């Protein structure tokens, strides 16, 4: 009787351990196969998928067989667990792939976003010169007169850039470029020399 009492906690620990290994192996294999089954142009999908399945099987099959040698019922439990993990990974793979693509795109967009922020700050400083400097307000009143189409377009472009900056929107960099064009057009319409702007 003591031998049975000692084997139950060890068996439960082994079942949890091998169950975790199996779930991770099956889920990773399903996600890898789904990802590699639609390859980029020029890539070899069947070869990559074969190796994904082979590597996943090399972990999943021993995770079922080793505990089955100690307790045959654990093989059935682990098989059901593996099938469930595979189904869950298959159903959730589009969301995981989309999330991964968003992260990759954010990493790619980060330098563009940082450069757009620096340009935006420079443009805002240039605009504030006309808005806050009393001498510039007197010399170039058209820069603050929103009745003029160029100044009105400038204000709209500035607001759009500000709104997109707050949300880290993908269209932020083009909005900053439009703000720069609108500011230059408003300066030209106000008669500001190019060297001053």
Percent residues over pLDDT 90 in the chain: 32
Q: What mean pLDDT value characterizes the chain?
A: 84
Q: Residue 12 and residue 22: Cα distance in Å, rounded?
A: 15
CA contacts within 13 A on the Cβ side of 22 = 26
If you count them, how many residues does the chain have? 197
Q: What spatial distance separates the first Cα and last Cα of the chain, rounded to whole Å?
A: 91
pTM: 0.55
pLDDT higher than threshold 60 for residue 19: yes
Q: What is the pLDDT of residues 114-168, one digit of tens each?
A: 999 999 999 999 999 988 888 888 889 999 888 999 999 999 999 999 999 887 7
Count other C-beta atoms under 10 Å from residue 51's C-beta.
12
String of DSSP letters for 131-164: HH-HHHHHH-GGGG-TTSHHHHHHHHHHHHHHHH
Q: What is the pLDDT of residues 117-127, one digit of tens each?
A: 999 999 999 99
Count other C-beta atoms under 10 Å from residue 115's C-beta.
12
Under 8 Å between Cβ of 37 and 93? no
Under 8 Å between Cβ of 154 and 186? yes
75: nearest Cα among 132, 155, 141, 18: 18
């Amino acid at each position: 009787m003591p031998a049975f009492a000692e084997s139950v906690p060890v068996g439960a620990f082994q079942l949890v351990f091998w169950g975790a290994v199996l779930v991770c192996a099956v889920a990773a294999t399903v996600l890898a196969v789904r990802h590699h089954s639609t390859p980029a142009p020029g890539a070899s999908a069947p070869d990559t998928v074969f190796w994904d399945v082979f590597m996943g099987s090399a972990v999943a099959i021993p995770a079922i067989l080793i505990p089955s040698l100690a307790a045959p019922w654990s093989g059935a439990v682990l098989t059901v667990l593996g099938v469930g993990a595979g189904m869950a990974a298959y159903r959730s793979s589009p969301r995981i792939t989309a999330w991964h693509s968003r992260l990759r795109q954010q990493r790619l967009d980060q330098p563009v976003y940082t450069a757009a922020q620096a340009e935006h700050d420079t443009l805002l400083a240039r605009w504030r010169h006309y808005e806050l400097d009393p001498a510039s307000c007197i010399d170039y009143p058209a820069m603050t007169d929103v009745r003029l189409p160029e100044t009105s377009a400038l204000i709209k472009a500035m607001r759009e850039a500000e709104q997109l900056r707050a949300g880290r929107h993908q269209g932020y960099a083009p909005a900053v470029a439009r703000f720069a064009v609108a500011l230059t057009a408003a300066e030209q319409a106000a008669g500001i020399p190019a060297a001053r702007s």
